[in-house]
Amino acid sequence: MSDLGHVLVLAGGLSYEREVSLRSGRRVSEVLRAAGVSVETRDTDASLVPSVLADPPSAVFVTLHGGAGEDGAIRSVLDLLSVAYVGAGSDACRIAFDKPTAKTMVRSVGLRTPDSVTLPKETFHDLGASAVLGRIVERLGLPLFVKPSRGGSALGASIVRSAEDLPSAMVGCFAYGDTALIERYIEGVEVAVSVVDLGEGPVALPPVEIVPVDGVYDYAARYTAGRTEFFAPARLSPEVSAACAEMAVTAHTALGLRDISRTDLIVDAEGRPHFLEVNVAPGMTETSLLPMAAEAAGEDLGSLCRILLEQAAARGSA
Amino acid sequence: MSQEPDHGRTVAAHGSRIDAYVDRYAARATGMVASEVRALFAVASRPEVVSLAGGMPYVTALPLDVVGELVSDLVARRGPVALQYGSGQGDPHLREQICDVMRLEGIEGNADDVVVTVGSQQALDLITRIFIDPGDVILAEGPSYVGALGTFAAYQAKVVHIAMDDEGIIPESLAQTVYALQTAGSRIKFLYTIPTFQNPAGVTLNAERRGQVLEICQRAGVLIVEDNPYGLLGFDGDPMRALRADNPDGVVYLGSFSKTLAPGFRVGWALAPHAVRDKLVLAMESAVLSHSTFTQLAVGEYLATQPWREQIKTFRELYRERRDTMLSSLEALMPAGCTWTRPRGGFFVWATLPEGLDSKVLLPRAVAERVAFVPGTGFYADGSGARFMRLSYCYPEPERIREGVRRLAGVVEQELQLRDTFGTGAYPDHIGVDTPGPDLA
């Protein structure tokens, strides 16, 4: 056993991504145990606070996706409990989880991100949907990508290639959140770049290229083995690959993230990367991108997670 | 990996698709993919969520201490038999007892024609296995039981739905469909029906129509598979007479102890004409050798020593109270334009949303509001049925049902506002069936 003491892996929660989170939690727990760490895995429910107070873990690995897991809420509670955890602090999470805010922040440090508009559903109700949607199409052009301003796993997200499809995309989006981010869709290569900081500053792992078999990286394509082909490292020239890595590290730094993050981006036909969004609790399932990137880099996932926990424990709570 | 630049990219060897066997699965496994709806149901399993989704019997109402003693005593007294392999057809004594149970619905069956199965779900699987070649037609009510549709899809059957109303299958629709299909040369292998307290619609085929359905099928040479898990859970009067009671040669009857005792035993059965029975036994043996002797004997002991008819009455009263609560809550709280069935037994209410709404689109918001239901699309083989949803009242306590309906009504209100904002055209019917897990079927 490692001298880390016992650690806690948080998984589950009440977000739409509960199932994915449980899978991530199982995977992280397994690799940590294989790396000699004493692990307890638990859901976030009413027993969490008393149990952490009764037997504080040396550090927490948060594998909660969506909602409280990524918007800073759980991390604020961990701060209140004086427990150290892997990953960004609550304030940084709050900013990064809100996609429009994150886009504004990374654009301010010079990163390229697709033009977009963010609107709550009330705006469409109050001003009339057709007038507003018409103006959006005029202004941003087609195709568009519509997604909830907060959330993940492509839930509520869709590509819109003709103006008449926009209303149903909006309805699908508002099923998962009250505010929509509508951005210009960039045709290109989907790439995810994971960033880890093992004590010597944030470093990009090899970019992973995503090629969905059916052309769309939706929920089924994300979590059904075989529905997507992954290239790790991505089939990019060294220059483009380096530009992607730089974008991910810059975003990680600009957003004040810590330890671990994953930036999703698209490389256009000219080889230019465009920032789409960042994840503060990247998926860790068998079909997730960060574990693939770690493997491509020759890193053992268990050792990587253990080091991150050791760093967090040494850093202590906020 | 080769490194030839191509517009800023390099051409590489194959990527990873994670699953080494991805190109080797059978065609019938193509649809077995991760689904958003299943992911949402993962949240519904949390206690904070009022689940009007699950079809789980309220087993807490059983005398669990008595069942515990009975099981313990079984191992102590008959362990060497209970823990041994059994016959492929099932324990002979239990098959006799099953005939006693079926007699309550007018069936005079012979124990020799009963095959004990792992829930009636396995009986359904075996029936489909012995009758269906890919492309064969199965008729089923529209909507129909999601677990049956999953089985039929696995055997690559073509399911044709028959229209229903509040009195069950519409005989004219059945006759027309049979005629049209047979005229076109389709091979109709059987009609799958849940005539009593149907899952998901909650409706019951009335007595007059029972005769008509039997006659239509007999005339057309169409076998009937009668699935009857809820028949003894009626809230008014005596149990309905089973279809099988009036045509022993034209009906395969499927029964189950999952709702009258407990699904954890996984004891169901098929009562079939002799020749079909023989094939079912062979199919059963090739599938699992034999059913669990242990649970068969446990159910047998329960039937022999416990007042099981009284227990069914207890269940009936409990479910009746919950049905009443659900109907009165729907009446009081749901927005105008919503309608629903009024079941006289069983577990389910089938609700219809106002025009233009899609229950699958509603589900994420419902889960966010901590209430769950099953969208209608799962109950149609072609993925239609977006306007419907199944609401079950069997598991939550009455006050939770009321609270669940209150939350659901709020969600429908919000969705109506969204429909008014974006127009009904923004809600196309989804294609594709999302099958819930076993606890939700």
Here the ipTM equals: 0.86
In this prediction, residue B426 carries a pLDDT of: 65
A225/B42 CB distance under 8 A: no
Q: Which residue of A has its CA nearest to B24?
A: A226
Q: Which of A15, A16, A274 to mutate to test the interface with B (most CBs of B within 10 A)?
A: A16
pLDDT at B314 over 70: yes
Contact B8 A271 (CB under 8 A): yes
List residues bridging with B252 in a β-sheet. Answer: B225
SS3 B164: strand
CA B364-B368-B374 angle, to 5 degrees, is: 45
Contact B13, B1 (CB under 8 A): yes
Could you confirm whether A310 is annotated as catalytic? no
Write down the pTM of the prediction. 0.89
Element (H, E) at B9: strand B9-10
CA B20 to chain centre: 34
CA distance B364 to chain A (A): 6
More confident residue, B35 or A247: A247
Q: What is the pLDDT of residue B27?
A: 81
Whether A158 is a known active-site residue: answer no
Q: Is the pLDDT of residue B2 over 80?
A: no
Total residue length of chain B: 441
Shortest distance between the Cα of A22 and any Cα of chain B, in A, equals 10
Chain A residues closer than 8 Å to B364 by CB? 16, 155-156, 175-176
Nearest C-alpha neighbor of A60 from the set A21, A6, A2, A1: A6
Say if residues B220 and B188 touch (Cβ distance below 8 Å): yes
Can you tell me the mean pLDDT for B240-254?
97
Higher pLDDT, A1 or B65: B65
Q: CA A77 from chain center: how many Å?
A: 20
The answer to whether B253 and B226 have CB atoms below 8 angstroms apart is yes
| DSSP character string of chain A | --TT-EEEEE---SSTTHHHHHHHHHHHHHHHHHTT-EEEEE--STTHHHHHHHS--S-EEE---SGGGTSSHHHHHHHHTT--BSS--HHHHHHHHSHHHHHHHHHHTT-----EEEEEHHHHHHH-HHHHHHHHHHHH-SSEEEEESS--TTTT-EEE-SGGGHHHHHHHHHTT-SEEEEEEPPPSEEEEEEEEESSSSEEEPPPEEEEETTS---HHHHHSTTSEEEESS-SB-HHHHHHHHHHHHHHHHHTT--SEEEEEEEE-TTS-EEEEEEESS---STT-HHHHHHHHTT--HHHHHHHHHHHHHHH---
Contact (CB<8Å) A175/B361: yes
Confirm if B242 and B231 have CB atoms less than 8 A apart: yes
The CB-side HSE value for A298 (13 A sphere, CA atoms) comes to 0
CA–CA gap between residue A294 and residue B235 (Å, rounded): 60
Q: Give the chain B residue whose CA is nearest to the CA of A286.
A: B18
Q: Which of A45, A124, A237 sits opposite B9 (nearest CB)?
A: A237
Question: Under 8 Å CB-to-CB from B215, ≥6 apart: which residues?
Answer: none
Tokens coding B408 = 């659901």
Mean pLDDT for B3-22 is: 62
* A288 tagged catalytic: yes
3-state DSSP assignment of residue B179: helix
Lowest mean pLDDT among A135-139, B227-231, B374-378: B374-378
Residues 131-190 on A with a CB inside 8 Å of B are: 153, 155-156, 167-168, 170-172, 174-176, 189
Q: Which of A15, A90, A241, A288 is catalytic?
A: A288
For residue B9, is pLDDT > 80?
Answer: no
d(Cα B221, Cα B181) in Å, to the nearest integer? 13
C-beta of residue B354 within 8 angstroms of C-beta of residue B429: no
Q: What is the model's pLDDT at position A154?
A: 84
Bind-site residues of A for Mg(2+): 264, 277, 279
Mark the ranges of chain A whose per-residue pLDDT is less than 50: 1
pLDDT per position as a tens digit, B401-439: 999 999 999 999 999 999 999 987 766 544 444 544 545
The secondary element (H helix, E strand) that includes residue B159 is strand B158-165
pLDDT in tens, B254-298: 999 999 999 999 999 999 999 999 999 999 999 999 999 999 999
pLDDT tens readout for residues A202-235:
999 999 999 998 888 888 888 888 888 999 999 9
Structure confidence by residue, pLDDT tens digits, B103-141: 999 999 999 999 999 999 999 999 999 999 999 999 999
For an interface test with B, the pick among A65, A235, A287 (most B C-beta atoms closer than 10 Å) comes out as A235
Closest by CA to B419, choosing from B345, B344, B335, B322, is B335
- DSSP letters spanning B318-387: HHHHHHHHHHHHHHHHSPTT-EE---SBSSEEEEEPPTT--HHHHHHHHHHTTEE-EEGGGGSTTS--TT
pLDDT, residue A87, reads: 97
Q: Match 């890919």 to its residue by tokens.
A: B134
Those of residues 80-109 in B touching chain A at CB distance below 8 A are: none
Least confident segment among A217-226, B2-11, B182-191, B204-213: B2-11
